[in-house]
Chain A
């Protein structure tokens, strides 16, 4: 259908490496005016790197870059902007303390002859633009007061109506509700009719298939498939993404892993009908002693909020938590800790004291057990030394400032702080993210040891491999709702992706 039109943007043989690791290998990519081009691939497949090259964020690469048939080299994101390329990044980038209208016109406010901002005109035009997008909101209200999904829509609207000829949307739908996704799609289709070229990146393959004309699949820095959306299916795309029949390493992803029969041991945690604003809807599940429960879902599916509720950092709007059969409402994280719940968040920075020695990092959560009033530093060091040896933390020096340790070892310290007096329920967020193979295996072994000791463990991750390598039972969270449970049955990466 696109024959006869010349591409607005054409990339030929793009190769990009970061410190010797090739993120993109000889990628060709063309974008036609009036086309919605879907991009799929696993985390790290190269989609975002390619888009950042197009948007002028990465300026060092090899290959040819043509706009309207003319070779171009952007030196900055500003150059790309001037060429009519706009991008909505995965992370929300708005100014929450400014008004909706100011955000819509960020860096581009209408001014009069004296250079003063024309507030009335700005508010009126912002209101009109948003109304076209189906957003009914007072343009003079503070953006930060609006729900996150609406903020994201407004950011998208700003980029869509900026007059750009090429619009790149990186995971725009993760925080949106189904009706909001519909409105976004309607707008994308309208822009397509006006001739705008749109690149749409998403983990939600159904969304890609519904809205895009063409789909390109990335795997390990290569473009592995490009096809018309109408001519493919979700299964075929997942297969292309994870490469069935590919290299030996990838076999494990498609091979079925048999989940064990549930042990029927005692229920440590029961979550019933948990809801939180736009993040979670009626989530119910149980975690049992001596079992690792995996919770898998894409970014923004509500995992993070769920883990924070379990540890008393967020309060749910509705629903109940029962720890060993007793209903609990945690007033603070301290209350959750006393009830036997422990959390290791995804970010080590949030969890550890980088300017303090290792032993203080380990002893912090058990200080009230070993000292009533006065500290007992010798005992703290002994306890820490035992943990350091058991978890093989390198270097094995408890007096060293934590900041001197490598990331993998820091992650082990984050685990160690909960293990001196093991909790009843351990919640781990992305426990192996960004680790090398050795450290990953260490963490997997630690978690298995803890399971053998009878802890209930919940592993939340956006990486299927993490969940598959650890979990006895897997729940899939999708846009805040539990959509699938895998237990006592074969499971594989493509089955997980299919469910999510």
Chain B
């Protein structure tokens, strides 16, 4: 028996129902997406248009860039609460190192664009490294470590802009954040490339395999002789760098750099990853799930605007959808464990 036929025979020989149960985590978010899209298309004629699809893609791009790194972290059964703050401080830093108009009252340090970008990337990588060291060397749980980093990054942001707003960023960042090519916004292209890159790394590289194994059973990974701390450290740095890139492009996209600009992105990014079906217990899911999660959130946010709903109710509905996703997430894990037995 060749290994390929064996693989195919595996799930089939167990019957369809257990197979579907084991795939619940992938199926449920997809059904949610189809249901939401269908509902809004039915409820509003302006929803299901090519223009609006472009809107949705643009709206989820910054979240998507940040969610790439967060997917790695959650796959390892850790969490990163500092993503939005790191995005914010990196966006502010790239503006800080750029020459601003004379009316901007920030004592900044103008540098050539490439240097500004490199310094900003180094800054977010450094903050990620601090997260990594706190988690692996000192042994602070990631939840608390990144909570502290959230404050630290916000503090650095505050010190850099001191309540002011900066507008200028290097031209490369301006192009990528707010420009477009052939009618397609660059920021959508960047998000697509990063999501694809994240997917390739997770699926086809040794490091990606290690991420899944560490998330699946950390003890077993250690007993297999993997350097678990190195892998955990690496995902924290990856997460911070993705957040930083998202922050820089986001600043260009919004046209300004200021304090607390990215606050909503923390919840949105976590929601995208988890709604997509990546397991909070680690080891299951991936970028494909994150993409579905991004669309679920994107369609929901955008669609609620189209159906003229009370904007306060909108917040509640988002919360309820997130709760439903969490229930499915935990439930899917249990179903899969049962299927494995």
Within 8 Å by CB of A334, from B7, B213, B219, B225, lies B225
Q: In the complex the two chains form, is B206's CB within 8 Å of A356's CB?
A: no
Shortest Cβ distance from A458 into chain B, in angstroms?
16
What is the CA–CA distance of A343 and B225 in the complex, to the nearest angstrom? 9
Q: In the complex the two chains form, is B205's CB within 8 Å of A353's CB?
A: no
Q: In the complex the two chains form, is A351's CB within 8 Å of B220's CB?
A: yes
Q: In the complex the two chains form, is B206's CB within 8 Å of A367's CB?
A: yes
Q: In the complex the two chains form, is A399's CB within 8 Å of B205's CB?
A: no
> Chain B: interface secondary structure?
helix
B284 at the interface (CB under 8 A from A): yes
Contacts of A372 in B (CB 8 A): 206
What is the CA–CA distance of A342 and B225 in the complex, to the nearest angstrom? 8
B293 at the interface (CB under 8 A from A): no
Contacts of A364 in B (CB 8 A): 209, 213, 221, 224, 226
Q: In the complex the two chains form, is A355's CB within 8 Å of B336's CB?
A: yes
B318 at the interface (CB under 8 A from A): no
Query: If the complex has contacts A353-B216, A397-B1, A399-B7, are A371 and B224 also in contact, measured as CB distance less than 8 A?
Result: no
* Most chain A beta carbons < 10 A, residue from B204, B230, B284: B204
The 3 closest A-B pairs by CB, nearest first: A337-B225, A399-B7, A403-B340
Q: Which of B190-212 contact A (CB under 8 A)?
A: 204-206, 208-210, 212
Query: If the complex has contacts A397-B1, A399-B10, are A375 and B206 also in contact, measured as CB distance less than 8 A?
Result: yes
Query: If the complex has contacts A353-B216, A356-B216, A373-B206, are A332 and B229 also in contact, measured as CB distance less than 8 A?
Result: yes
Contacts of A373 in B (CB 8 A): 205-206
Q: Mark A143-166, 1 if CB is under 8 A from B, else 0.
A: 000000000000000000000000
Q: In the complex the two chains form, is A400's CB within 8 Å of B6's CB?
A: yes
What is the CA–CA distance of A360 and B283 in the complex, to the nearest angstrom? 13
A268 at the interface (CB under 8 A from B): no
A417 at the interface (CB under 8 A from B): yes
Q: In the complex the two chains form, is A355's CB within 8 Å of B284's CB?
A: yes
What is the CA–CA distance of A368 and B227 in the complex, to the nearest angstrom? 12
Q: In the complex the two chains form, is B222's CB within 8 Å of A333's CB?
A: yes
A3 at the interface (CB under 8 A from B): no
What is the CA–CA distance of A385 and B5 in the complex, to the nearest angstrom? 13
Minimal Cβ-Cβ distance residue in A for B203: A375
B101 at the interface (CB under 8 A from A): no
How many residues belonging to B are interface residues under a CB distance threshold of 8 Å?
Answer: 34
B51 at the interface (CB under 8 A from A): no
Query: If the complex has contacts A334-B225, A365-B225, are A398 and B220 also in contact, measured as CB distance less than 8 A?
Result: no
Within 8 Å by CB of A355, from B221, B223, B283, lies B283
> Chain A: interface secondary structure?
mixed
7 A-B interface contacts by CB (under 8 A): A313-B222, A333-B224, A333-B227, A353-B216, A375-B204, A399-B10, A417-B224
B302 at the interface (CB under 8 A from A): no
Q: Which of A345-364 contact B (CB under 8 A)?
A: 345, 349-357, 359-360, 364
What is the CA–CA distance of A311 and B223 in the complex, to the nearest angstrom? 8
A401 at the interface (CB under 8 A from B): yes
Q: Mark A229-251, 1 if CB is under 8 A from B, else 0.
A: 00000000000000000000000
Contacts of B49 in A (CB 8 A): none
Q: Which of B6-45 contact A (CB under 8 A)?
A: 6-7, 9-10
Shortest Cβ distance from A432 into chain B, in angstroms?
18
Within 8 Å by CB of A333, from B208, B216, B223, B341, lies B223
Minimal Cβ-Cβ distance residue in B for A367: B206
Query: If the complex has contacts A354-B340, A355-B284, A401-B340, are A374 and B224 also in contact, measured as CB distance less than 8 A?
Result: no
What is the CA–CA distance of A336 and B226 in the complex, to the nearest angstrom? 10
Within 8 Å by CB of A381, from B3, B10, B221, B283, lies B3
Interface residues of A (CB under 8 A from B): 311, 313, 332-334, 336-338, 342-343, 345, 349-357, 359-360, 364-365, 367-368, 371-375, 381-382, 385, 396-401, 403-404, 417
Q: Which of B278-306 contact A (CB under 8 A)?
A: 283-284
Q: In the complex the two chains form, is A375's CB within 8 Å of B223's CB?
A: no
What is the CA–CA distance of A342 and B212 in the complex, to the nearest angstrom? 22
Q: In the complex the two chains form, is A375's CB within 8 Å of B209's CB?
A: yes
What is the CA–CA distance of A355 and B332 in the complex, to the nearest angstrom? 13
B217 at the interface (CB under 8 A from A): yes
Within 8 Å by CB of B226, from A333, A354, A375, lies A333
Shortest Cβ distance from B104 into chain A, in angstroms?
44
Contacts of A337 in B (CB 8 A): 224-225
Q: In the complex the two chains form, is A398's CB within 8 Å of B283's CB?
A: no
Contacts of A396 in B (CB 8 A): 1
Query: If the complex has contacts A356-B216, A373-B205, are A399 and B223 also in contact, measured as CB distance less than 8 A?
Result: no
What is the CA–CA distance of A204 and B223 in the complex, to the nearest angstrom? 32
What is the CA–CA distance of A465 and B53 in the complex, to the nearest angstrom? 69
What is the CA–CA distance of A311 and B222 in the complex, to the nearest angstrom? 10
Contacts of A354 in B (CB 8 A): 217, 340
What is the CA–CA distance of A373 and B209 in the complex, to the nearest angstrom? 11
Contacts of A359 in B (CB 8 A): 3
Apart from the given pairs A364-B209, A364-B224, A400-B6, 4 other A-B contacts in the complex at a CB distance below 8 Å? A333-B225, A338-B225, A356-B213, A382-B3
Q: In the complex the two chains form, is B206's CB within 8 Å of A368's CB?
A: yes
What is the CA–CA distance of A401 and B219 in the complex, to the nearest angstrom? 18
